[in-house]
Amino acid sequence: MEISQIIPHIEALIFASDKALNPADITELINNAFGFLEERITLEQVESALSGIQEKYATEFYPFELKQSGGGWQFLTKPDFHKTIAQLNGDKFLKRLSNAALESLAIIAYKQPITKGEVEAIRGVNSDYSIQKLLEKELIIISGRNEHLPGKPLVYATSKNFMDYFGINSTEDLPKIREVLADQIVEATIVKPEDFTDNSVFEQVSEEAAEEREEAEAPNLPEETDDFEAETEEEDTIPESPSE
């Protein structure tokens, strides 16, 4: 089957799906739909078709685009239309996570799988409410139990909805901690004397040394005293011409 024939079927699948579809899923679904065909499509064909579809909808003529998000491919509206479509769902669409929930979610995302006790040890506060809210929003899931800790507590991990919520394809797309911390480091400002003058430090030192030399070589003159006559305030006069 030619790629041009595959593309409409891929677009239909992604458009109709309520979750992100990866290339393997798409390949299997299309092959199942055309099971009677002797020539089955390959994963490489699907990936090539996805690149073409992505390029097609990246143009300014479409308000949505094909993006990798939530572990697969989805049609998503472009950021320019966010305010327009936000009106459809009212305040529910605009609700954001609290700072406490974001803190717990960040710890789980970077440390998963992790227990609630470990999250609380890092945050320093009880995290029952935050974790419960994250579970309700399906941003995290219970991935099992820690068999090595007393009581075998539950462990938590991020869900596919988490990746979809933040528009990433996998947890590998999360910012690296080192990169985040690097942005927060403020380097000390090094103040140099030459920053405040047109002369360099060397020139300043040379001038100071020359002044000291001049003072040392200058003859010992008598000190000035107050015993001097004040200047008179006589006015300049023009001598009269001799009379004839």
What's the rounded Cα separation, in Å, for the pair 2 and 22? Answer: 20
Residue with tokens 């990798």: 68
What does the pLDDT look like over 147-159, one tens digit per residue? 888 889 999 999 8
Of the three residues 46, 66, 86, the one that is the final residue of a domain is 86
Q: Has residue 239 got a pLDDT over 80?
A: no
Domain carrying residue 133 = 96-181
Span 112-123, mean pLDDT?
92
Question: Do residue 104 and residue 50 come from a single domain?
Answer: no
Domain membership of residue 239 (yes or no) is: no
Question: Do residue 29 and residue 78 come from a single domain?
Answer: yes
Number of domains in the chain: 2
Residue type, 201: V
Tell me if 199 sits within 8 A of 176, measured CB to CB: no
- The domain that contains 53 carries what CATH number? 1.10.10.10
Q: Has residue 15 got a pLDDT over 90?
A: yes
Span 219-236, mean pLDDT?
45
Task: Report the candidate in 116, 115, 159 with the shortest Cα–Cα distance to residue 136.
Answer: 159
Q: Within the chain, where are the H helices?
A: 3-16, 23-33, 43-57, 82-86, 90-94, 99-111, 116-123, 128-136, 160-166, 177-184, 201-217
What's the rounded Cα separation, in Å, for the pair 40 and 1? Answer: 7
The H or E element containing residue 155 is strand 154-158
Span 76-105, mean pLDDT?
79
> How do beta strands 72-77 and 140-145 pair?
unpaired
Domain membership of residue 39 (yes or no) is: yes
Domain membership of residue 200 (yes or no) is: no
Domain membership of residue 215 (yes or no) is: no
Domain membership of residue 238 (yes or no) is: no
Beta bridge partners of 21: 73
Domain membership of residue 140 (yes or no) is: yes
Which of 31-35, 52-56, 224-228 has maximum average pLDDT? 52-56
Domain membership of residue 81 (yes or no) is: yes
Domain membership of residue 211 (yes or no) is: no
